[in-house]
Amino acid sequence: MEARARPVADIVLSMVLIAVGLVVIYGTLDLPPGTFEPLGSATIPQAVACGMIGFAAWTIVHALAERRALARRQAGAGDESDEPAARPRHDLALGLMALTVVYVLVMAMGWLRFSLATLAFLVISIGMLSGFERRVLPALAVLALGLAFGLEYLFTRVFVIDLP
Amino acid sequence: MTDLADGFLYTFGAYPLFLITLGTVLGITVGAIPGLTGAMLIALTLPFTFYMPPVEGICLLVSMYVGAISGGLITATLLRMPGTPASVMTTFDGYPMARSGRPGRALGLGITASFVGGLISWVFLATLSQPLSDFAVRFGPFEYFTLVLMALVLIASVTQGSMIKGLLSGFLGMLVAMPGVDPSAGDLRLTFGYHELDAGLNLLPVLIGVFAVGQVISDIVGIEERAEAVTMDRRGIFLSVRDWMRHGLNMVRSSLIGTWVGILPGVGANIGSIIAYSGAKTFSKHPERFGTGSEEGIIASESANNATVGGALIPLIAMGIPGSVIDAILLGALLIHSIQPGPLLFVNNPEVVYTMIATALVANVIMFAVMLGAVGQVARLRSVPRAFLMPIILVFCVIGSYALGNRMFDVWVMLFFGVVGYFLERSRVPLGPFVIGLVLAPIAEESLRSGLMLSAGSYAPLVTRPISAVFLALSVVLLVWPIWRHYRQHRGARRGSH
Amino acid sequence: MRMLSTLGLALGALLLAAQGPAVADFPEKPIKIVVPFGAGGNTDGLARMFQKAIQDENLLGAPLVIVNVPGAGGSIGARRVKDSEADGYTLLLMHIALLSGEAAGLMDFGYRDFEPVAATADSCLVTAVMEDAPWAGLPELLADAKARPDAIIHGANLGAVNHMAGLMVEGASPGSKFRFVQIGGGAANFKALKGGHTQVAHITLAEYSSFRAGGVKALAYLTGERHPDVPDLPTAKELGYDLDFCLQNWWFAPKGTPRDRIDRIAAVLEKAMQSDYVKQIMRERMNAPTFLGPDALAAKLTKDYAMIAPIAQKAKQK
């Protein structure tokens, strides 16, 4: 899987980057020209965006060529046998990121204080990743409690920072 | 010289030695935790030092500085997550080596290189700080610009795999540095009316996201992969005579690069390690091994980033000019004790200067001993189940990003760039050039535009100022050389296959 | 009966509690001081000095918590305070950048969106050149800047305080013109002066005293009275220029904060100014121990804004 070229992914990525580059160029159009020197604050972002668009376009050209080459090779050789490697768990990764977003959101909105939010986050996410095995639950509880309250104490009492 | 001896004598006292050990160990710990950085630890410790005599405060802060920059290599090597941004380059070779079953060797090399880097830069700190900083002030905007340009060109030489994708990644990194108050005239740009963006996308949240969070995501995607058997091999932790012979030159060169980059205010430890890494690759007999577990790569990166610590203390001590973010906080610590850093520091407060210098060395030795002693335990980090490790790392990333500026915005930036980093990595876009672009673009822009203000719009000083001309010429050579070598290899390979 | 009265008492207590903190109870939790600049800087140092003094002498009954929110010339932190609850538990510590940021259009809000609390400490800028510079004093420098406009290089952080100071100084002698170059803060300017990249800069008196041994020479002290620690440095007013450029540290509360709370904080700050610790540090940092209460500060802000606004406008042009 990893070894095979993924021209389609490259094309998508490059298109996204080209879009970002265009947004940047658009966003710098109304900036004033330089007052103290000839470049001003728009020139360099524009130059960088143009450079990026150029390389993204080049990547697309490259990927298209690769795709053609791949298609030709596959037509000749038939389907290659994918070896049954480990199943990629995109679901778990997505779940963890979603949990993290909720975790941060809950603190940003001030719904839960840091210690409680962290406790909940650790219990749910570690539980999810380890499939809620009964074996790990005691260790999980100790760890989550210790980290959540320990860190809160450390960062609000010892090092005074403004945790939510 | 007797003053320096007094400084050492002082640091060997029980209490100062305790503070230095504490500072070093805390620094290593925080440095090793992805998301938390040395600058954060030192900023948070600053208030405590108000209640200490100045020399004790200095002992604590300087040893944290030394510890933090060394600790970063642990997670960089074992988890492919740089504990501090300065260890980014260490992930490229440290992790592949650890993965191939030699985590002890990888850590041992990194730790030894860190120690040597610290030692060499310390020698300059202790003996040549005045003349070196006199020379460093001669670096004006044009010299900075061409130096940074040279480092940007190195994107081409650190790139593994597709050169186009490396350049794409470098440009993307530069672009990410663009929004916010522009570094030169202070205009707001690319904020699209969104005020949280007024300060731009901060460097650290972006780096923590791309490297730590991105890696968390791909580790979770691959959670069902068979974990490699962790064989803790103690062989190779200590360098043999042959190792010293083979790597000595690289260590010295990388340390000198790191020291010099450290002396230049505002350039930073990441750049020291980037330049040293690229230099090692350029001079190496086996450049193709870089990125796959090259011993030279680990050594170059780690000796250079530690060398920047001693280097960055040089202008601080000699002139009162902070060389890095951490030095700026150290300066604040001195000011709060009403100690005016600057040329008079040696005259008015010699005890502070010499304690600082002595601490830098003592902390380096303690760092070396502590880290080598802990290699066995630390390497077990790889056997902690990912289900536990990854959420904990995320919590630290959240805290670390938040504590930078007490803003939730930075946390969102960190998470967003975690996803970006994951997709870049999946598309096999190398991340090294991304960091180089991100870190260097603002410095390049500010110095070029300052230079043009100085010269009233003329580009001529780029070639008429000698130092600048040398850097410019080196940039051209560094740009052409890897492309030429790449081309020649390709041709060679093609001819070989026929 | 007994039970009823107990219940009544309890109810009364509850009601009292629900009424919210009475003035006498303020503050009943830590007060956040937002410093819109990084840790270790000048403003941060001042905030921490007050934090220590207030805690050591137990002046407030609750600790101060310093929150650094750096970025975009201080506007990120200032905006945070502007948008926070007006209950006296969040304060902003800033200086003239709040005025110049508004006038230059960098912020879409300004000092009018805050309640002034107090001004503490005062540190005026000096015009600095290297010892081997050809100008004997400020008049010579300005005359030269008039004879050769746009030739003498002035290092500054464009749009920030040291840029405004330079513009004000050149404005005092019509026709003079410096060439401004982006360099940065005090230490960066010292480096640029010493390296011969720039020729003039504006730095604080404390910075001057620490860089003096490195070969920096001051031409004028930008205020009316000489400083006792550098008695031989002439003031701008003595030299015939009506210039006054000082950095005061201003404390603000969000708009709508009750006046009694503002007065309480101002009183605590004033008392802290009198402590030996603060006095000593102020002396060492070469700050004048100025103190202004809420009303005096309000008047000063209006006056300073009128002065800085045209300069901030000018800073946007060459």
Which amino acid is residue A26, in one-letter code? Y
pLDDT value of position B226: 60
Q: Tell me what pLDDT residue B85 has.
A: 81
Q: What percent of chain B has pLDDT over 70?
A: 94
SS3 C101: helix
What ranges in C160-221 are assigned the alpha helix state H? 161-171, 186-194, 205-211
Residues in chain C within 8 Å Cβ distance of B405: 68-71, 76
Query: In what helix (H) or strand (E) does residue C180 lie, and over which residues does it extend?
Result: strand C179-182
Q: What is the pLDDT of residue C16?
A: 42
- Distance of alpha carbon B258 from alpha carbon B307, whole angstroms: 5
**What is the rounded (10 degree) CA torsion for B385, B387, B391, B394?**
60
Q: How far apart are CA C57 and CA B457, in angstroms?
A: 56
pLDDT surpasses 70 at B99: yes
| Closest residue of chain B to C50, computed from CA coordinates | B336
Question: Residue B65: which residues within 8 A CB-CB, separation 6 or more?
Answer: B27, B38, B42, B309, B326, B330
Residue C122 parent element (H or E): strand C114-130
Name residues whose C-beta falls within 8 Å of residue C15's C-beta, 6 or more positions apart in sequence: none
Report CA-CA distances (Å) from B273 to A138, B87, B120, B167, B237: 43, 8, 15, 19, 22
* Closest residue in A to B389 (Cα–Cα): A126
Reported ipTM: the value is: 0.89
Instruction: Return the number of other C-beta atoms located less than 10 Å from residue C21's C-beta.
Output: 14
Bridge partners, residue C250, by sequence: C94, C119
Tell me, letter by letter, the H, E, C secondary structure of chain A.
CCCCCCHHHHHHHHHHHHHHHHHHHHHHCCCCCCCCCCCHHHHHHHHHHHHHHHHHHHHHHHHHHHHHHHHHHHHHHCCCCCCCCCCCCHHHHHHHHHHHHHHHHHHHCCCCCHHHHHHHHHHHHHHHHCCCCHHHHHHHHHHHHHHHHHHHHHHHHHCCCCCC
> Given an 8 Å threshold on Cβ–Cβ distance, is A160 in contact with C66?
yes
Rounded to a whole number, what is the distance in Å from the CA of C115 to chain B's nearest CA?
22
Which residues constitute the domain of residue B205?
2-497
- CA atoms of B343 and B263, how far apart (whole Å): 16
Q: Are C34 and C69 in contact (CB under 8 A)?
A: yes
Mean pLDDT of chain B: 85
Separation in Å, CA of A73 to nearest CA in chain B: 19
What residues of chain B lie within 8 A of the CB of C84, using their CB? none
Closest CA to B69 of B3, B120, B115, B13: B115
Give the residue from B86, B121, B80 showing the smallest Cα distance to B103: B80
Q: How far is A42 from chain B (nearest CA, A)?
A: 8
Which stretch of DSSP H or E encloses residue C93?
Answer: strand C90-94
H helix count then E strand count, chain B: 22, 2
Pick among C34, C44, C65 to test the A interface (most A CBs inside 10 A): C65
| β-bridge partners, C247 | C123
* Cis peptide bond upstream of C27, omega within 30: yes
The Cα of B265 is separated from the nearest Cα of chain C by a number of Å equal to 9
Cα–Cα distance between C207 and B149 in angstroms, integer?
32
Q: Provide the token pair at C280.
A: 């000593």
Chains touching chain B at 3 or more Cβ pairs under 8 angstroms?
A: A, C
Check whether B150 has a pLDDT greater than 90.
no
Say if residues B68 and B329 touch (Cβ distance below 8 Å): no
- Closest residue in A to C150 (Cα–Cα): A36
Is the pLDDT confidence value at B329 over 80? yes
Exposure string over B216-240, b if 16+ CB within 10 A, otherwise e: bbbbbbbbeeeeeeeeeeeebbebe
**Residue C39 to residue C72: CA distance in whole angstroms:** 15
All residues of chain C having their beta carbon less than 8 Å from the beta carbon of residue A35 are 316-318
**pLDDT digit string (tens) for B30-50?**
989 888 888 888 888 887 887
Length of chain B: 498
Mutate to test the interface with C, among A36, A113, A156 (most CBs of C within 10 A): A36
Contacts of A38 in chain C (CB under 8 A): none
Quick one: pLDDT at residue C22? 44
Are C182 and B184 within 8 A, CB to CB?
Answer: yes
Residue of C32, C181, C317 lying closest to A162 (CB–CB): C32
Q: Would you call B16 helix, strand, or coil by DSSP?
A: helix
Contact across the interface for B180 and C72, Cβ inside 8 Å: yes
- The minimal CB distance from A55 to the residues B167, B222, B453 is found for B167
Q: Are C45 and C287 in contact (CB under 8 A)?
A: no
The residue among B262, B396, B326, B398 whose CA lies nearest residue B43 is B326
Amino acid at site B125: L
B190 CB within 8 Å of a chain C CB = no
Report the gap between the CA of B329 and the closest CA in chain C (Å): 4
8 Å CB contact of A51 and B394: no
CB pairs under 8 A between A and B: 171
pLDDT at B161 (0 to 100): 66
Helix axes A137-153, B386-405, angle to 10 degrees: 10
The number of domains in chain B is 1
Packing angle of the helix pair A114-129, A137-153 (nearest 10 deg): 150
Chain A residue numbers touching B395 (CB-CB < 8 A): 118, 121-122, 147, 151
For the record, the structure tokens of C207 come out as 């910075």
What SS3 state is found at C124? strand
Tell me how close the Cα of B136 comes to any Cα of chain C, in angstroms: 8
Write out chain C residues lying below 8 Å of B46, CB-based: 39-40, 48
Instruction: Show the CA angle centred on residue C159, arms to residues B436 and C116, nearest 5°.
Output: 115
Q: Residue B370: its pLDDT value, please? A: 93
**If you measure CA to CA, which chain A residue comes closest to B213?**
A97
Query: Is some CB atom of chain A closer than 8 A to the CB atom of B143?
Result: no
Question: Bigger pLDDT: A99 or A143?
Answer: A99
Token duo for residue C271: 């008392």
Three-state SS sequence of B367-385: HHHHHHHHHHHHHHHHHCC
Q: How many CB atoms lie within 10 A of CB C151?
A: 13
| Paired strand residues for C120 | C249, C291
Largest separation between any pair of C-alpha atoms in chain B? 75
Is B405 within 8 Å of chain C by CB? yes
- Other C-beta atoms lying within 10 Å of the C-beta of residue B202: 20
DSSP C16-68: HHHT---GGG--SSPEEEEESS-TTSHHHHHHHHHHHHHHHTT-SSS-EEEEE
Q: Which helix (H) or strand (E) holds B463?
A: helix B461-464
Interface contact flag, B220 A96, Cβ < 8 Å: yes
Given the structure tokens 């960088």, which residue do they identify? Answer: A48
Q: How far is B456 from chain C (nearest CA, A)?
A: 8
Q: Considering only A76-90, B213-227, B292-306, C261-275, which range has the smallest mean pLDDT? A: A76-90
Give yes or no for a contact between B359 and B62, defined as CB atoms under 8 angstroms apart. yes
pLDDT of residue B371: 92
Distance CA C221, CA C236 (A): 6
Pairwise pLDDT comparison (B422 vs B333), residue with the higher score: B422
The reply to whether B140 touches chain C by the CB within 8 Å rule is: yes
Residues of chain C below pLDDT 50: 1-23
Domains present along chain C, CATH in parentheses? 29-122+247-315 (3.40.190.150), 124-221 (3.40.190.10)
Disruptive mutation site among A35, A44, A159 for chain C (greatest number of C CBs within 10 Å): A35
Q: Would you tell me the crossing angle of helices B386-405 and B408-426 to the nearest 10 degrees?
A: 130
Residue type, C15: L
**Mean pLDDT computed over B481-485:** 73
Q: Which chains touch A (3 or more CB pairs under 8 A)?
A: B, C
Chain B nearest CA to A70, separation (Å): 17
Does the pLDDT value for residue A60 go beyond 70?
yes
Interface test with A, best of B192, B221, B424 (most A CBs within 10 A): B221
Q: Is C293 exposed, middle or buried (0-12, 13-18, 19+ CB in 10 A)?
A: middle
Strand partners, B181: B188
CA distance B405 to chain C (A): 5
C interface with A, Cβ–Cβ below 8 Å: 32, 65-67, 158, 180-182, 316-318
Residue B347 contacts C where some CB pair is shorter than 8 Å: yes
Give the helix ranges, DSSP H, for B349-431: 350-379, 386-405, 408-426
The alpha carbon of residue B351 is apart from the nearest alpha carbon of chain A, in Å, by 28
Q: Which B residues in the span 22-51 are in contact with C, Cβ-Cβ below 8 Å?
A: 43, 46-47, 50
d(Cα C216, Cα B406) in Å, to the nearest integer? Answer: 37
Smallest CA–CA separation between C144 and chain B, in Å?
18
CA distance A109 to B182: 31
A92-138 pLDDT per residue, tens: 999 999 999 999 998 888 888 888 888 889 989 988 888 777 777 78
Inform me whether the C-beta atom of residue B458 falls under 8 Å from chain A C-beta atoms.
no
Q: Is B385 in the A-facing interface, judged by CB distances under 8 Å?
A: yes
Per-state percent for chain B, helix, strand, coil, to nearest 5: 75, 0, 20
- A108 — contact with chain C (CB < 8 Å)? no
Tell how far CA C264 is from the center of its chain.
Answer: 21
Per-residue burial over C232-261, b = 16 or more CB atoms within 10 Å of its CB, e = otherwise: ebebbbebebebbbbbbbbbbbbeebeeeb
Chain B, 12 to 51: residues with Cβ < 8 Å from chain A are 44-45, 47
A36: nearest CB among C32, C66, C318? C318
Whether residues C40 and B139 touch (CB distance < 8 A) is answered with: no
Is the CB of A158 inside 8 Å of chain C's CB atoms?
no
* Separation CA B336–CA B357 (nearest Å): 20
pLDDT tens digits for range B153-173: 877 666 666 778 888 999 999
Alpha-carbon gap, residue B480 to C291, rounded angstroms: 63
